[in-house]
Structure 1
């Protein structure tokens, strides 16, 4: 069964649920997890996981979950993954912290896309599921919210260093999310009466002294003005030391950062930049689109008018051309497993190579002498071969590689010089992309 993990649907935000509750590690694991799994099955509905992964993949059953936890177990921690093979995509971690650590049920659920939870009924099922879990497995704090917005809020560190964050956890109300369960200790810190009087869609005291708080009926529209106002009111109520207007302004600023931005990329670079954007973290994607909309690569400078081309100065032109071909084959050998299109030597293969080098941060992760001695000649020769094969270009070899030219139309292009500038840094891979030079040569072909 093919698993559709939450990361596969990169076009949208997701609902993220974090739940850490105490459990009895001395009890039989099957009986201790029975309520957890019963509640999951009762409320997950259309996103109910159907795949369990431990050391192997199985169809979901309660027994499969127990077996996966057993086979992935260690003395202190065990875990398994649960997934949904169809839309909406689900990526769920079920972990158990074991003695000598403090026994804890550790659950992270990501359901993508967040738009799935535009219906109030689906959101109510999430609330009732978390409520039932929190009654059975007492929490310090649990929450469900937009994954992207939680990232922008600084969760889970909220400006603290990792050690402090791990030690103290959610020891005060750093943020109010769409759904929150505040444990008894946190309730007493804030004040039970204050917490119960929070202006919110739903506030409920649970039998174990925890308080469940939901700011708004649906989570999918968390960034709407009305939902942000409700979130700010709840947060400022629970944290009277905070200024309401400042809290609300911060929430609106986060909403603005998540507002979809229409890509308007440079036409030569649109395909490459779309792939660059897809690599950005989901909560940073819209800002990245805006940045790349504003960015305009300079026109390639690695060319001369054809009437000022340098003549060949090599002893054997044919041997020089064979050397260029050999250099280009070196690039094919380097990239063929990661960039299969490199065999075709097409404009599209240049874009694939551009993206590969950018994704791998190639100029940063390789020794400079290796780049200069091997990568630059291979890239330059390959770029030149693409110009020759696709635009009817002709090599004009020179003893110095950076002076070697490819004649296309009324210009000669300098592919080795381009390759050297290209490999200067990760940003240079975009500023001096192979794709853009090819498109510029294509425009001047005749």
Structure 2
């Protein structure tokens, strides 16, 4: 993993907003959405959407927002996506529930990167936008937070003791994010006076009885000690039955889970292992790096010190069969693993990643794997040893005894491929990448 990839792994967080409010069903769609779009256009700034995604994709305009919504009108709701073609990236959804359902407006926003909100001004504009929305629509609730923080909150719940209780499903306050809009019902449950006296950067009562609460001027440093103390104080103020030290300890656990871990992968497997953390939630990635740093696969055993003699009547035909098997794998996977054409160590790493990401041994029929996939992989692996390491095939009647002579050793690619395809765990224990690297070391 190079420096840029490491930075990307750590910096992949984003600011995520969830906003839900009731909607005036009597007004026309354009009238009903006017305050929403006014505030979005006035305050989004650098992350303003420029793409509207309905049944087709349009350049952003209010007319196309309305057109796309009508295109996606269903029996109970309509929804569209909003996005950006360039940095910073935006993933935004707008959904409206319509009669006979209770009319509602739901907006979901994800802006990447979170570092965009290190500076005061974009944060102030974001708060202004949410304030405008919450002032014009009777809000049920809204929160804006780091995506990683939200993911951690799902696994390290501050209110573990009541996470499964009946009360937990109601109007109990469980989290205090960077930005919060608490609806009137929750405000009354907590106590309006208590809510308005919360120690925070901004606490403001809105005209419709909801309360806007912003913990700190910016969200990007949410995992810092200062931010965690502020978050714990606000949370315990709103939930006085909670213990401050317990809440702060849980928040510190979250921050520790996000502390950067330097990748130190097994050198043979680094081209593969460096990709795996990106496949996990942001909140899990540093733990996964630590786990993969500690991972040490068994030494490859699929080799012999001396070749078994070829025991086939027509070696040329058998080698042609191996080529057919290899070409069949290329034909099946070339769109998903384009580098497979190259037959290089990089191609093998790409195949390893593909099979791991697909959980291939778990998802596909065992008979198909044993009769087709594993033999084709063995042929491809052997052909790569021949082409890139100067190996020579020694064909055998029993497929798993077929060898490729490289230097003073002979290697058993079909046996390796069978072991590789036994399970999802085996994809790492018996990777194609490691097998190639080991053979490469011994070719002299």
CA distance in 2, matches of 1:118, 1:413: 54
Does structure 2 conserve the Cα–Cα contact (< 8 Å) formed by 1:141 and 1:170? no
CA distance in 2, matches of 1:358, 1:39: 44
CA distance in 2, matches of 1:394, 1:82: 56
> In terms of mean alpha carbon deviation, does 402-411 or 13-22 score higher?
402-411
- Secondary structure of 1:140 counterpart: strand
- Secondary structure of 2:144 counterpart: strand
> Residue 363 of structure 2 aligns with which residue?
365
> Residue 326 of structure 1 aligns with which residue?
324
1:169 is displaced (CA, Å) by: 6.1
C-alpha distance 343-419 of structure 1, shift in aligned 2 (>3 A):
same
CA distance in 2, matches of 1:162, 1:363: 36
1:168 is displaced (CA, Å) by: 7.8
Does structure 1 conserve the Cα–Cα contact (< 8 Å) formed by 2:156 and 2:254? no
1:319 is displaced (CA, Å) by: 2.0
Q: What are the superposed Cα offsets for residues 116-171 of structure 1, whole Å, 9 maximum, x if unpaired?
A: 00001111111111111111111222100101111110199988999999x98662
Matched residue pairs, number? 435
Q: Quick one: which of 333, 336, 348 aligns to 1:335? A: 333
C-alpha distance 159-36 of structure 1, shift in aligned 2 (>3 A):
farther
Does structure 1 conserve the Cα–Cα contact (< 8 Å) formed by 2:277 and 2:285? yes
- Secondary structure of 1:355 counterpart: helix
Does structure 1 conserve the Cα–Cα contact (< 8 Å) formed by 2:326 and 2:377? yes
> In terms of mean alpha carbon deviation, does 321-330 or 388-397 score higher?
321-330
> Residue 353 of structure 1 aligns with which residue?
351
1:241 is displaced (CA, Å) by: 1.7
> Residue 43 of structure 2 aligns with which residue?
43
Does structure 1 conserve the Cα–Cα contact (< 8 Å) formed by 2:162 and 2:168? no
> In terms of mean alpha carbon deviation, does 373-382 or 264-273 score higher?
264-273
Counterparts of 1:160-309 in structure 2, within 5 Å, are 171-305=171-305, 308-309=306-307
1:316 is displaced (CA, Å) by: 2.1
Specify every segment of 5 or more residues in structure 1 that has no aligned partner in the other structure, as ranges: 1-8
C-alpha distance 255-193 of structure 1, shift in aligned 2 (>3 A):
same
Runs of 4+ in structure 1 displaced over 3 angstroms?
Answer: 155-165, 167-170
C-alpha distance 255-133 of structure 1, shift in aligned 2 (>3 A):
same
* Alignment partner of 1:406 is 2:404: yes
CA distance in 1, matches of 2:113, 2:203: 26
Specify every segment of 5 or more residues in structure 2 that has no aligned partner in the other structure, as ranges: 1-7
- Normalising by structure 2, report the TM-score: 0.94
Does structure 1 conserve the Cα–Cα contact (< 8 Å) formed by 2:47 and 2:111? yes
> Residue 4 of structure 2 aligns with which residue?
none
> Residue 3 of structure 2 aligns with which residue?
none
- Secondary structure of 2:154 counterpart: coil
Does structure 1 conserve the Cα–Cα contact (< 8 Å) formed by 2:344 and 2:388? yes
1:368 is displaced (CA, Å) by: 0.6
1:340 is displaced (CA, Å) by: 2.0
C-alpha distance 159-225 of structure 1, shift in aligned 2 (>3 A):
closer
C-alpha distance 238-161 of structure 1, shift in aligned 2 (>3 A):
closer
Q: What are the superposed Cα offsets for residues 73-116 of structure 1, whole Å, 9 maximum, x if unpaired?
A: 11201011111222111111011011222111000000000000
C-alpha distance 164-81 of structure 1, shift in aligned 2 (>3 A):
farther
- Secondary structure of 2:336 counterpart: coil
C-alpha distance 156-137 of structure 1, shift in aligned 2 (>3 A):
farther
Does structure 2 conserve the Cα–Cα contact (< 8 Å) formed by 1:140 and 1:170? no
* Alignment partner of 1:31 is 2:31: yes
CA distance in 2, matches of 1:41, 1:392: 62
CA distance in 1, matches of 2:155, 2:352: 34
> Residue 388 of structure 1 aligns with which residue?
386
- Normalising by structure 1, report the TM-score: 0.93
